[in-house]
Chain A
Amino acid sequence: MALNPMEQFAIKPLVEAPLFQIGGHPIYFTNQALLMVIVVIASSLFLTLAVKPNRLVPTRGQSMAEMSYEFVANMIHSATGEDGLKFFPFVFTLFIFVLCSNFFGMVPGSFTVTSQIAVTFALACLVVGLVIVVGFMKHGIGFLKLFVPHAPWYLLILLIPIEVISFLTRPISLSVRLFANMLAGHTMLAVFAGFVVSLGAAGGIFMGVALAPLLLIVAIMLLELLVAFLQAYVFAILTCIYLNEALHLHDHH
């Protein structure tokens, strides 16, 4: 294969000299750090500037910002109820960051921040850490009742270990889900792009055949845009579901 499809995920320092050192480890300003800075600046600039005019009849930008705000607010309200709304800033920030990282990664030639397991695992640990802190603050030691479902005692012997394991694997499943989707999508695009390049290089009749994978890339790109939104949505809604469990334990509202 002419192109290595994994090459796009390589992290390269942009500035030769390390920024500073932590415990003897040099910290570089990498292409990933640059993309993260761009994502944060672009999304916060857009969200603040779009609602600045504050018109009764919104412009396109303002209604985009308002719609995303309402979308996340509805999501939190339906998943966690009224008292989950105080986590709105957290969930909204998380959703917008993941969404913008995914979309910026779809720009050809750029870098996908969320295709790095380090980033998604840090985000997932933040979520699960917050769930644990909120749970213990709200219920005290009673938060441990989360691991005891309503069941006869002889089933509890089996169920409690399962509940504990499923809670402990949450950061892994939450992070690997986002990471794997982004990684698989971009690898697939790169592999099909490699087909176009090698068919085009073959020349003659193969030049015409190269059109097929090229059209397929366009279709896959559309699918990947859907996946980029969907994974940000899933990340945010799972955060809401976990927060709901910490807030309400087993009682359904």
Chain B
Amino acid sequence: MDVQAAKMVGAGIACIALVGAGIGIGNVFGSYLSGALRNPGAAATQTTNLLLGFALCEATGLFGLVIALIILFT
């Protein structure tokens, strides 16, 4: 396999990190919804935690994407 093809394959593999981010974001919102439906009174107080969890989750997946971009463009 020549280097260019190996780079492409590597970048593709690095994007698998986004699977984890998808699962994580689903978990964050799913858990929030199930909690919010059980106790709607407390739901509004937890929106900052929800957004924080979402942003932190999304970022871990994007680390993988950055690796892919570094492989492709350097």
Determine whether A233 belongs to the interface, using a CB cutoff of 8 Å to chain B.
Answer: yes
A233 in contact with B62 (CB, 8 Å): no
Q: Which residues on the A side are within 8 Å of B48 (C-beta)?
A: 237
Q: Which residues on the A side are within 8 Å of B63 (C-beta)?
A: 176, 180
Determine whether B69 belongs to the interface, using a CB cutoff of 8 Å to chain A.
Answer: yes
Q: A177 to B66, alpha carbons, bound, how many Å? A: 10
B66 in contact with A234 (CB, 8 Å): no
Determine whether B55 belongs to the interface, using a CB cutoff of 8 Å to chain A.
Answer: yes
A interface: dominant SS: helix
B69 in contact with A187 (CB, 8 Å): yes
Count class of interface residues, chain A: 10 to 19
Q: A234 to B55, alpha carbons, bound, how many Å? A: 7
Q: Which residues on the A side are within 8 Å of B51 (C-beta)?
A: 230, 233-234
Q: A180 to B62, alpha carbons, bound, how many Å? A: 6
Which positions 14-70 of chain B face chain A at CB distance < 8 Å?
A: 48, 51-52, 54-56, 58-59, 62-63, 65-66, 69
Count class of interface residues, chain B: 10 to 19
Q: Which residues on the B side are within 8 Å of A227 (C-beta)?
A: 58
B56 in contact with A181 (CB, 8 Å): no
A177 in contact with B54 (CB, 8 Å): no
Q: A180 to B61, alpha carbons, bound, how many Å? A: 9
B56 in contact with A234 (CB, 8 Å): yes
B55 in contact with A230 (CB, 8 Å): yes
Q: Which residues on the B side are within 8 Å of A233 (C-beta)?
A: 51-52, 55
A234-B62 contact, Cβ under 8 Å, with A6-B73, A183-B69: no
Q: A234 to B51, alpha carbons, bound, how many Å? A: 8
A230 in contact with B54 (CB, 8 Å): yes
Q: A99 to B58, alpha carbons, bound, how many Å? A: 18
Kindly report which residue of chain A lies nearest to residue B59, judged by CB atoms. Answer: A177
Determine whether A231 belongs to the interface, using a CB cutoff of 8 Å to chain B.
Answer: yes
Q: Which residues on the A side are within 8 Å of B55 (C-beta)?
A: 177, 181, 230-231, 233-234
- Report A's interface with B, CB cutoff 8 A: 6, 173, 176-177, 179-181, 183-184, 187, 227, 230-231, 233-234, 237
A233-B55, A234-B51 known; 13 new pairs, CB 8 Å cut-off, are A180-B59, A180-B66, A181-B55, A183-B69, A184-B62, A230-B51, A230-B54, A231-B55, A233-B51, A234-B52, A234-B56, A237-B48, A237-B52
Query: What are 26 A-B contacts defined by CB distance under 8 Å?
Result: A6-B73, A173-B59, A176-B59, A177-B59, A177-B62, A179-B66, A180-B62, A180-B65, A180-B66, A181-B55, A181-B58, A181-B59, A183-B66, A183-B69, A184-B65, A184-B66, A187-B69, A227-B58, A230-B51, A230-B54, A233-B51, A233-B55, A234-B51, A234-B55, A234-B59, A237-B52
